[in-house]
Amino acid sequence: MADTTQFLQTVKEGYTFKGESYKIGRAILNGDVVPEADINIPFKTLNRHGLIAGATGTGKTKTLQVLAEGLSDASIPVLLMDIKGDLSGIGAAGTVNDKITERCQKLGIDFKPEAYPIEFLTLSKEKGTRLRATVSEFGPVLFSKILDLNDTQGGFVALIFKYCDDNKLPLLDLKDFIKVLQYVSDEGKAELEKTYGKISTTSTGTILRKVIELQQQGADLFFGERSFDVDDLMRISNDGRGMISIVRVTDLQDRPKLFSTFMLQLLAELYATLPEAGDLDKPKLVLFIDEAHLIFNEASTALLNQLETIVKLIRSKGVGVFFCTQNPMDVPASILAQLGLKVQHALRAFTAADRKVIKQTAENYPISNFYQTDELLTQVGIGEALITMLNEKGVPTPLVHCMLRAPQSRMDVLTDAEIDTITAASKIAAHYNEAIDNESAYELLTQKLNDAAEKAAQEEDEKKPARAAEEKGFFDNPIVKSMARTAGNTIVRSLLGAIGLGGRKKRLF
């Protein structure tokens, strides 16, 4: 049996911070909650990213909900990726029951049912504020990475973007890009080579197929206007709490390419837009990605490299990114190494492969003098987790088995009527849901080709009288007439000769 006094001292030293923090629960030792062994999370280090992992039904979503509540109360905006559709309840107050009351007594906290300020966002036609971005905003490098193009194909895409910039052809949606791609490979090839030198368009077919593949996953709904301003993710509600934006992506589980595209564009836009902030007392925004394996499973190597780079760099902009997944091995090792806060719920050991994963997972956590980590990973109860994080000096805290607090908002989904009410009250939905189809590359190039066709037809019509006059003058020439008569006579004689009627009659003697 571990020494409780020594354990309590270790916890207090590891989880007491100078800056503002949020109590997430209390440590457990030998199966019991240890009084006064409070586990706090310092807001200062939440831009160092994090991981929430565990098997189905172990409480990952509720942990995510608790963290979002604590951040909102501290005036920190939150963005949630709701893949399963079970996070909407954060917009309604929770209810007290005997289990919650008992848990709160053990943790030494008061339960206050609260409805939090939320904003529904959507990538499709679900209820909420529409999220869009233009092709131009992606830029040639990011757009090429999304399409998983090689260097040659990426160079051709960069040339297309350059051509559009030089000729004031806005690339707003995918039909714009497709139209320009077809134009520079056919009618406009000579024009392009005159300005940019000899080019090869052998990659056109491959690029076009990649764009069509993206379209088949519903990307036409995402690319276009009006572009979403990331500043609207960092709003504070009228009561001073951080706004919790929930992206409803329940219909994207079978369209991982679109989900990856959106996530990468969002992170890139945040990184490009926000100024350098360094280590703030509180992050500007914290992003939670539920079912994060959907990003990594279908992502190309180039996409993963880009994501890894942005995760490393976006910390300095005051943004924290948290991945929520069933198995920590779902997250690439290069990204896993960047995650400061780790909340590990129970794992299941049904097979030899499961036991191997559990052993690997245990090795990712600090060595503990109080727990046998690999054994404990299969014994953690629902609403409990193993926790370690970075303290204010950037040093990992001791590993603790923690009983987590319960969400103060509803632990269930909102009804359709409640979602309608929240959407109707949105201050930004009407602005972003307005349908806009500004004149862009598709319309401009179509008009250019139509004008060229009309001009060619007009020139052809203008040439017809001159050609007719020229032909008439040609046949009125005496020499031409003589040649025509001679040729005609020759043809007639040949025909008559062929049937025995031509030539002079022989004289009879």
Last residue of a domain, one of 422, 447, 472: 447
pLDDT score of 57: 87
Indicate whether 478 pLDDT > 70: no
Q: Say yes or no: 411 and 379 in one domain.
A: yes
Q: CB of 123 within 8 A of CB of 262?
A: yes
**Banded model confidence at residue 474, pLDDT cuts 50, 70, 90:** low
Residues 142-181 have pLDDT tens digits of 888 888 888 889 989 999 999 999 989 999 999 999 999 9
Question: In terms of residue numbers, what domain contains 418?
Answer: 45-131+232-433
Same domain, 146 and 127: no
Asked if residue 373 and residue 244 are part of one domain, the reply reads: yes
Residues 6 or more apart from 369 whose CB is under 8 A from it?
Answer: 2, 10
Whether 317 and 209 map to the same domain: the answer is no
Alpha-carbon gap, residue 509 to 494, rounded angstroms? 28
Q: What mean pLDDT is predicted for residues 486-505?
A: 47
pLDDT of residue 63: 94
pLDDT band at 505 (very low <50, low <70, confident <90, very high): very low
Same domain, 164 and 295: no
Q: Residue 32: pLDDT band by 50, 70, 90 thresholds? A: very high
Within-domain flag for 506: no
Please state the rounded mean pLDDT for residues 387-395: 90
Q: How many angstroms separate the CA atoms of 251 and 218, rounded?
A: 10
What span, in angstroms and rounded, lies between the C-alpha atoms of 27 and 4? 11
| pLDDT of amino acid 467 | 61
The whole-number average pLDDT for the span 413-436 is: 90
Whether residue 453 is predicted with pLDDT greater than 80 in this model: the reply is: no
Query: Do residues 178 and 314 both lie within one domain?
Result: no
Residues 164 and 63 in one domain: no
Q: Are 400 and 406 in contact (CB under 8 A)?
A: no
Number of domains in the chain: 2
Integer Cα distance of 98 and 134 in angstroms: 51
d(CA 488, CA 53): 96
* 94 three-class SS: coil
Token match 């000729």: residue?
Answer: 167
What is the pLDDT at residue 479?
59
Which of the listed residues 391, 416, 447 is the one where a domain comes to its end? 447
Give the span between the Cα atoms of 423 and 120, in whole angstroms: 7
Q: Looking at the predicted structure, is the pLDDT value of residue 496 above 50?
A: no
Cis peptide before 209 (omega within 30 of 0): no
Last residue of a domain, one of 433, 457, 492: 433
61-97: pLDDT as tens digits: 999 999 999 999 999 999 998 888 889 999 999 999 9
- Phi-psi map region of 102: left, alpha, beta (phi>0 left; psi -120 to 50 alpha): alpha
pLDDT band of 498, cuts 50, 70, 90: very low
Query: Which is more confidently placed, 498 or 119?
Result: 119
Q: What is the pLDDT of residues 367-378, one digit of tens each?
A: 888 999 988 999
Does any domain span residue 482? no
Same domain, 269 and 374: yes
- How does residue 495 score in pLDDT terms, banded at 50, 70 and 90? very low
Question: Is 214 inside any structural domain?
Answer: yes
